[in-house]
Amino acid sequence: MLGLSKKDTKFLFIVIALTAATPILLQPFPEGSAMSQFNAGYPDLMQRFAIFGIFAIGFNILFGLTGYLSFGHAAFLGVGSYSAVWMFKLLSMNVLPGIILAIIVSGLFALVIGYVSLRRSGIYFSILTLAFAQMSFNLAYSVLTPITNGETGLQVTLNDPRILGQQVAANGNVPPTNFFGLEMGSSLKIPVGGWEFTFNAGYYFCAVIAILAFYLSLRIFRSPFGLMLRAIKTNQTRLNYTGLNSRPYTLAAFVISGMYAGLAGGLLASMDPLAGAERMQWTASGEVVLMTILGGVGTMMGPILGAGFIKYFENIFSKINENVLHQWFSFLPDGLEGFVIWVAEHFVGSGWHLTSGVLFMMVVIFLPGGLVEGGQRIGKKLKRKKSDGDGDDAEHHPKQSPHVAE
C-alpha cells in the first residue's frame, strides 16, 4: 500500500495518528495546575515541532544515509524563509506559492554549494559547508541589505505591491498568511474539564506537509537510490573502484536535503512572515546536527524525536523563572528553599542550555543510537518480561499429552 511494505505502512499510519493527536498529547496537565508549566500544546510550539522535524528529516537523508556531515544547512533554511517572504510581498499572502518558491530557490542554492563542497569528503566537506553558510549569513546581514533588509530582517508591510492579494486587512493591518482563505493563525479551543485543547490551522497545515515529507523520506530510505547512498556511507572508495561514479548520488542527496531545509524555512515564514539573517547562523546548523544525533542517525523517527526534544527544552525550560521555582519549593524551610532554588535556576531559564547539554551527553554516552535506541531497549525488555511470564504459566500449567489422557 502506498508503495510501502506492510510494516512501513503500519508505521506511517501510527505517525499520522500521533501527529493528529498532538494537541491533546502535549496538554497532559490541567490549566492552572503547578505542572501546567510543562504543557506544550500551544500553536507556536507545535508548529515548530513539525517544521524542525521536516528540517531534521531532510538533514538525515544526507547525514544518516551518505555519512556526509554538513555544518551549513541553516543557509538553506534562511534562503527558504527569504524566498517565501518575498513571495508574500510581491504576489499574495497565500502560503502555497511562497513555499513552492522556497523549495525551488533552496534547491538551486544547494546544487551550487553541493557541486563545490562535494569535491571533498569528511571533515573538509564539513568545513566547506560551514564556510558557505557563514558567507551566506554575512551576505544577508550586511552586503545584500536591499534584498534581506540586513539586521532588521525582511518583513511584510502595508506598502508591498501584492498583485493577487489584499493590500490591507479589514482591521487596517497587514493581511495574515492563509491557505486559500484559511488563516494560519486561526485556532479552535475546546475546554474539557480543567483542560483546554487548542487545534490550530497553522499546526495542521505544517503537520500535513511534515507527514508528506516523512512519507517521501521513507520511500527514499527503502528505494534503490537509498541503498546506493548506504553503500556510499559504508565504503565509498570501494564503490568507486567498481567503476561507479558516486558523486551524482551524493549531489542528489545534498540537493534533496537542501530542499527539505528550504521547505522548513518557507513554513517558518508562513507561520510568522518574517525572515532574518540569524536563521543562517552556524548555531542553527549545529542545532539540526544535535537533533539528528540525539534522536538517532539513520533512523526514520530519530530526527523527529530529536527535534521535538530540543524544541521542547528550548521553549518550556527556558520559561521557568525564579518566581515559578518559589511556587514549586515553597513547602521547604526558608534556608533549604533558597539553596534548592539557587541550584535549580542554573538548569532552567537562561540556563536551560546546561540541562539540554547534560541530557545530550547522557544520551551520547549511554545510548549511542539516540532516543530510538532507548525506545528499542525498553521494547525488548517488555517483550522479554512477557515471554518470561508466558514461560512461567506454561511451567505451572503444562499441557497434557493426548496419549496420556487416553
For 91-120, the pLDDT digits (tens) are: 999 999 999 999 999 999 999 999 999 998
Q: How many domains does the chain have?
A: 1
pLDDT in tens, 40-83: 888 999 999 999 999 999 999 999 999 999 999 999 999 999 99
CATH number of the domain enclosing 172 = 1.10.3470
Q: Which cell numbers in the block locate residue 282?
A: 552556524
- Please report whether residue 399 resides in a domain: no
Residue 129 lies inside a defined structural domain of this protein: yes
Name the pTM for this structure.
Answer: 0.90
Q: Give the domain range for residue 149.
A: 14-22+41-280
Mean of pLDDT values over 114-138: 92
- 391 within some domain: no
Asked if the model's pLDDT at residue 402 lies above 60, the reply is no
| Average of per-residue pLDDT values in the chain | 88
pLDDT tens digits, one per residue of 175-223: 899 999 899 999 999 998 888 899 999 999 999 999 999 999 999 999 9
363 assigned to some structural domain:
no
371 part of a folded domain: no
In a domain, 373, yes or no: no
- 225 belongs to a structural domain: yes
159 occurs within a structural domain: yes
C-alpha to C-alpha distance for 230 and 225, rounded to whole angstroms: 9
Cell of 86: 518575498
Asked whether residue 254 carries a pLDDT value surpassing 70, the answer given is: yes
